[in-house]
Chain A
Amino acid sequence: MPARHARKFAFDFARGFDINLHFFEKRMAKRPIIQFWKFLLVFAALGVCSPAQSFLRPLHSEISADAHSGYALESADLLPFACSTRTDDLNAPRCVGSGEARPPDLRSTDSSPHPPNFNGGCYPRVIANPDNNIGVDPKSSSDTVIRPHDHTGSDRSVYYRNKLEFAFDGGWLPIDIPFVFDVFLGDAYNMTTLRYTLVPLVASLRWHLDDVGGPWIFRGNWDMTFSGSATFIPRGPETHYFSYDMGIRRNFVPRRGKIAPYFDGRLGLGEINAKEPLGVQFAQGQNFTFTINMGSGVRYNFSPRYSASVGLNWMHISNLYLSQPAFSNYGINVWGPIFGIDVRLSKPRHYSK
């Protein structure tokens, strides 16, 4: 077989698994010796009986790092498969052919009552189920069909790079506490007799900065938040506060489930109707103020488009001592529950081939 035909065959074969061989080829060109030895090591590790997987195995690491691979590629029990599980391929039958190489370490197939129909080192009908169970289809035939996972609501269709979301959060922050960073300012950790309750209503634009990634429980992504906030003050001398905030949020995305914890922090500036210039004790010293918001909670993804969140939020308002010495800067420090909804603005994720 001529070399160009072999190359074309390899690319066509890999395209069936949504593997970017161009990327691999580029890497090979850069470091041919290292890649060659890596190839040999992986080949020896996986065994000669599954040559296709031995060939594809090093590609997995490259594609997973590219963060465009499907969920299955990150899942330990599906790693031997090179099958992508992209959402736009849900209805497409995959890997239809005479047979598919069976990895030696598959778990669920070992308990299958059906003996493998060994056909030249290949197993007949291997199905990657949406719940990550891999097994031999009881209605197996000689055809090999690998169905991709149903990723309609998976994490990668919810958290991905350049996703835009509109978020609306509402909170009830009635618990007054001292300024948590007093220790860094050399101030005493105490508070005045004045008590506040803030009711922030926050409209935000969330811009997801990256795809899901990271090790262990830190797996997740970052999003950047641009918010406009209107805060009503039912308890306290001031009555309202309007601010513009920016911040980041870390979404801790588990591999399974629709609930993802988050931690966020926002900085902003705004306008409050300060009352200390009117002689109100312990009130805010001037209208122009800064705000800090920090919070944590969980987000429940109903679908890739809609989600809701609930958490606790701490809100600080002060003027960075800009009003002193004419008016003291006491600030506001409150925390309480906050609830929100998120709606995707941009189009659903499109995976690049």
Chain B
Amino acid sequence: MKFVLKSRSSLGRAFHILRICAFLSAIAVLLTAACGTPGHATMNLIAPSAATKDTAFTVTVHVVYQGKPDSVINGVIHFTSSDPAAVLPIDYQFTRADAGSHTWTNGFILSTPGSQTITGQIHDASAINASAAITVSP
């Protein structure tokens, strides 16, 4: 393989170089795209389907990746709820010991009767989230 600058003008040389760069970059992009992105972890939020107003209940979060527990997760999970009066756990950072699963025992309280939701989401990785619908009885 031999690269030779045949164009004598600087403009010709520049175009020659740009052509080579564009060609090699296109190959690199295609190869990179062909590798694909394997997706991301998914979260499952396990909560009771019904709860009593102002009564604590337990929620468990499982994070799995390609069907297996996400053992490397160390992000921070943040909970929100449709109930403005809900009592939610503070942000929690997963540890290696969690192995992608953590339980908040009696950590949630909903205070507004009706159909409510609670949502968990990993901070800075909002694509990893889950929700659960809970019917709150008076």
Contacts and interface: CB of A to CB of B under 8 A. Distances in A.
A268 B21 CA distance: 11
A342 interface: no
Contacts, number: 91
A132 to B, nearest CB: 31
B75 A281 contact: yes
Interface residues of A, number: 32
Interface string A205-245: 00101000000000000001010000000000100000010
Contact of B37 (A207, A224, A278, A288): A288
Interface stretch (A54-62, A152-160, A269-277): A269-277
A237 B72 CA distance: 8
A179 B2 CA distance: 38
Given A207-B3, A280-B72, A288 B32 contact: yes
Kindly name the residue among B2, B5, B40, B125 whose own CB sees the greatest number of chain A CB atoms within 10 A.
B125
How big is chain B's contact interface, by range? 35 or more
B25 A288 contact: no
Given A162-B3, A164-B2, A346-B2, A278 B24 contact: no
B124 A281 contact: yes
B35 A287 contact: yes
Nearest to B36: A287
Contacts of A346: 2
Contact of B39 (A271, A275, A277): A277
A209 B125 CA distance: 45
B41 A278 contact: yes
B72 A279 contact: yes
A327 B124 CA distance: 6
B85 interface: no
B24 A226 contact: yes
Contact of B93 (A161, A207, A277, A281): A281
Interface string B29-53: 1011101111111000000000000
A6 interface: no
Interface in B71-102: 72-76, 93-94, 100
A328 interface: yes
A269 B32 contact: yes
B125 A246 contact: no
Nearest to B5: A162
| 7 closest cross-chain pairs (CB), A and B | A277-B40, A279-B73, A326-B127, A244-B28, A328-B124, A279-B75, A281-B75
Interface of B: 2-5, 13, 17, 21, 24-25, 28-29, 31-33, 35-41, 63, 65, 70, 72-76, 93-94, 100, 122-128
27 contacts: A162-B3, A164-B2, A164-B3, A207-B3, A209-B17, A226-B24, A237-B72, A246-B24, A269-B28, A270-B32, A271-B35, A275-B72, A277-B40, A277-B127, A277-B128, A279-B41, A279-B74, A280-B74, A281-B76, A285-B125, A287-B36, A288-B33, A326-B40, A326-B125, A327-B126, A330-B124, A346-B2
